[in-house]
Amino acid sequence: MKSVTDFSPGDIFTIEKFTGSIELQSRLVEMGFVPGVKIRMVKFAPWKGLVELKIRNYHVSIRVVEAENIKVIEYES
């Protein structure tokens, strides 16, 4: 299964599940990352420290190491 960091800017995908600690999973859910929600990759920050995503009509930046714990499937329209 792919993670958010396996995609390129402009790609759209759907959240499938999370891995990682329960604290990280809770924080992601609080930010709106819920299985079934579509996300669009906006960009990687320089040196791949952060990744910017568009979710539910707002932009959020999270660390790449956190984004690797969001398992996704490619969005099919």
pLDDT in tens, 52-77: 999 999 999 999 999 999 999 988 76
The whole-chain average pLDDT of the chain stands at 93
Q: pTM to 2 decimals?
A: 0.88
Domain range 2-74, its CATH number among 1.10.10.10, 2.30.30.90, 3.30.310.80, 3.40.50.720:
2.30.30.90
User: In this model, does residue 34 exceed pLDDT 90?
Assistant: yes
User: In this model, does residue 48 exceed pLDDT 80?
Assistant: no
Q: Return the half-sphere exposure (C-beta side, CA atoms, 13 A cut-off) of residue 19.
A: 10
- Which H or E run contains 27? helix 22-30
Residues 6+ apart with CB under 8 A from 6: none
